[in-house]
Structure 1
Amino acid sequence: MFSSLIENAFRQAQENGDLDNLPGAGKPIAESSLTSDPFAHVYAESGTMTPLGEMQRKIEAAKQRLAGATDPEAKRKIQAEISELEMRKAVEMETWKRYG
């Protein structure tokens, strides 16, 4: 059932012309862009990040803020934010390993 929904949506997008003139159409995917994340090249070509990449970017930004923080309360809040982001990333990675 799920695959037929996807096939119908894909066919409808083709008929509507939604897939015409996409960047990189007809070109092979560069070997260097093939990673364990099968959609990483799609995100890279569109100029966006994978959800895990975006989460890692947020972690790095929070770590930079932590390095510059001087107020103990602000440091605790940033550390809590980093812990939450790292936990969410670990859960996402585990989910991907199990069900991806």
Structure 2
Amino acid sequence: MVAGTVVGMTQRKPAGVGFETWVERQIREAQDKGEFDDLPGAGKPLAGLSEPHDELWWVKDKVRREEGTMLPPTLQLRKEAAEARAAAGAAGTEDEVRRILGEINARITEAIRKPLSGPPLNMMPFDVEHVVREWRLSRS
């Protein structure tokens, strides 16, 4: 919400004023102040209006926007480990390879020490020296 709108909505409803009237007045005053101008998506049609009705549309949209962060922690860590391994392979320097692997290895080690929820992690930290050797070979 817009800052000015939040303040108005935290005020108590005056006695003797109907709830609907009170809310409508706050909305009208906010509109008059321009607090709804330039909101994201203003003037654009609502997405999905032409699609068949789906009660879970908002859940599916959130999962799509979050790009998998709804995964159980162990599966999310596996995904991040694969991304880190790919980033290490594309790194520009050996120090960068070591830094990337050091960060993900610390997270993997912590997850082994204090298990996360979800399916078994079934991972060990990356062998940094092995990955560095592969990185060097790919550069020669």
TM bucket, shorter chain: 0.3 to 0.5
Rg larger in 1 or in 2?
Answer: 2
More helix by percentage: 1
TM-score, with structure 2 as normaliser: 0.32
What is the TM-score with the length of structure 1 in the denominator? Answer: 0.43
